[in-house]
Amino acid sequence: MKGSALRIPPELHARLRDLRLSMRGPSSGDGLGMHASRSRGAGLEFAQYRGYEPGDEPRRIDWKLFARSDRYFVREAERDSPLTVWILIDASASMAQSDRARPQFSKLEAARILAACVIDLALRQGDRFGIVGLSAEGLQFVAEGAGPRQRDRCMVELERLKSAGSGVADSQLTPLWDRVRPGSLVILLGDGFDERLMDLAVRLSATRREVASIQLLTAEERDFSFRGGLLLRDPETGTEMRVDAERARKEYLDRFAAARTALARRLAANGVAHAEHVLDRPLDEPLRALFGAAQRAVERR
């Protein structure tokens, strides 16, 4: 990956071998790939018959059916086509948060590696892929493409992403609707704290994009393993609050669990697949939660 220091750890790369990206519905791509397409033509899996039309190849006529009906019918099949995968990454200030045990491994760093994993899977499948960084500076695009050079372009852009500001504004999202076309698979990586991005996931799902969300959390957010007096500071607004950790723990854990449950239910109700990832867990787990079951469903067809 010339030009980028971003790497997938070897042990993580090995655990990706049995995964593949897939959609619950058919892809709308064209070309050769591993996904069922809405397009019809001369393919591998039979879809339907239709009446013969001038210009159809004689080899596609079902002669046995002609013998029974004395009419010409052409066998149509669903073509396999590449998937178009868009990776959307929250680059707001809250994504700079990490655990004290691993201060260099932030939510954004986890998002970078997860994005690299998705790119690796897409590259292996012959799919097209692009990335969008979502920050206060606007949208940072790498237009969709395929192949190793596209992979390298995406890796360089992932390295450039910085956590800053309060997130992308609604007015900055307009170009995304032109680039991320219906029929695409959209994977949103963020901590779920930006309501605008959760609204975006719901709207994308409602407009014929298939959306999956991975919520990135620190172990300390999950466990609230603090002691003594704390100064809590919102990295996006600068708001500060002093609390006693022992007194605040139960209320915090109850409210945080309720918020996570509400988010998961909201996304599920709007057709968005959702998984959580906590920074002290293996990075393949959320991908396996999203695509392991989908892969098994595809294999059973």
- Lowest-confidence segment of 140-154, 188-202, 226-240 by average pLDDT: 226-240
- Could you tell me which residue, 79 or 75, shows the higher pLDDT? 75
The pTM of this model reads 0.79
Indicate the helix (H) or strand (E) that contains 95: none
Cβ contacts of 281 within 8 Å, gap of 6 or more: none
Q: How far apart are CA 192 and CA 201, in angstroms?
A: 11
How much is the pLDDT for 63?
83
Which part of the chain has CATH 3.40.50.410? 83-292
- Could you tell me which residue, 276 or 78, shows the higher pLDDT? 276
For the stretch 46-52, contacts whose Cβ atoms lie closer than 8 Å and that sit 24 or more positions apart, written own/partner, are 46/75, 46/76, 46/77, 47/76, 47/77, 47/78, 48/76, 49/73, 49/74, 49/75, 49/76, 50/74, 50/76
3 state DSSP class of 142: strand
Span 231-290, pLDDT tens digits:
888 887 889 989 999 999 999 999 999 999 999 999 999 999 999 999 999 999 999 999
Q: How far apart are CA 72 and CA 61, in angstroms?
A: 6
- Could you tell me which residue, 296 or 217, shows the higher pLDDT? 217
Parallel/antiparallel/unpaired status of strands 35-41 and 45-51: unpaired
Q: How far apart are CA 139 and CA 256, in angstroms?
A: 29
Span 87-134, pLDDT tens digits:
999 999 999 999 999 999 999 999 999 999 999 999 999 999 999 999
Average pLDDT over all residues of the chain: 85
Query: What class is the 83-292 domain?
Result: alpha beta
Nearest to 97 by CA among 294, 235, 297, 277: 235
